[in-house]
Structure 1
Amino acid sequence: MYEKILVPTDGSETAEKAVEHALDLAEQYGAEVHALYVLDTNAMSLSLGGEQLDRIEQGNYGEMDEVRERADSATGFVADRAAERGLEVVEHVSAGRPHSMIANYADKNGIDLVVMGSHGRSGVKRALLGSVTERTLRSTSVPILVVDSN
């Protein structure tokens, strides 16, 4: 049923819960797991200049080693947990609008299922911050399993 499962991760506790669900499904179906970390360039554009953002979008983090470390740690968590179960993971880091990058990755890589966490924001926080999960649901036709933070 599922041959390729994508787990977008930001390294949060909520994302880690989604990882467990994704790995359970991958074990059950013998699926390949993909871990994706998206550096949100919209959020960073407030503090970075255009030239820095261009370099990051091209994968050149330069002096932004801490960003790369955070990304590697998030996808590495998925890979480590998968290795404990005898599963291999394709790790990928990209930069852009998270929901668009998740949808694009899923389309380009033949993903059958996306498993992602939802931070469970509501009301004003959701209106101000938006929801990557909600936007991803609207951006792709790939089935998405949403794991709640609670």
Structure 2
Amino acid sequence: MAIYKTILAAIDLTEEADQIINRARDLCGIHQAELILIHVVEPVGYAYGGDIPMDLTELQDQLDKSAREQLAAFGKSHNIADNNLMVTVGRPESEIHRVCEERGVDLAVVGSHGRHGIQLLLGSTANGVLHGAKCDVLAVRLS
């Protein structure tokens, strides 16, 4: 059985995030591992294909600030140290891969809604994290 020293829980800041955090915390307890909590804010320009001729910096800054506040609340409610709370901007799977490598993560824990077939291929962040990860990945089925 693998021994995990650093576990990363990637959350989307919804009420389902508690399921992911709780699973990751359980594993941290078993393995005496450090827990890192991450949320990735997608750039506003991605939603519009980059075709809007206006400065979206203020909106992006507001989204980032809101994400940091929400992540801090999750961290506080789950007793996770502030230095292990991360908000990054980018594509979720790419940012999760990057942080896992930079922080020496042994296990990434992500949520999955249990989609099947073409839905899984087209839109699953969990699937994107799984493919290309250099560490173990646990997909927690969200109810």
Query: Under TM normalisation by the shorter chain, which class is it?
Result: 0.7 to 0.9
1:6 aligns with one of 2, 5, 8? 8
TM-score, scaled to structure 2:
0.79
Q: CA deviation at 1:29?
A: 2.1
Query: What residue in structure 2 maps to residue 82 of structure 1?
Result: 78
Q: Structure 1, unaligned stretches of length 5 or more? A: 56-61
SS of residue matched to 2:78:
helix
- The amino acid across from 1:14 in the alignment is E
CA RMSD of aligned residues (A): 2.7
Q: 1:95 aligns with which of 89, 96, 106?
A: 89
Paired with 2:76 and 2:90, the residues of 1 have a C-alpha distance of: 26
Structure with the bigger RCO (C-alpha within 8 Å, sep 6+) is 1
How much does 1:42 deviate?
Answer: 7.2
* Other-structure match for 2:26: 24
Cα distance between partner residues in 1 of 2:44 and 2:115: 19
Match of 1:38 in 2: 40
Runs of 5+ consecutive residues of structure 2 not aligned to the other structure = none
1:108 aligns to 2:102 (yes or no): yes
Q: 1:135 aligns with which of 99, 114, 128?
A: 128
Q: Secondary structure of 1:105's match?
A: helix
Q: Distance in 1 between matches of 2:54 and 2:85?
A: 26
Aligned structure 1 segments of 4 or more residues deviating by more than 6 angstroms? none
Give the CA deviation at 1:80: 2.0
Give the deviation of 1:141 after TM superposition.
2.1
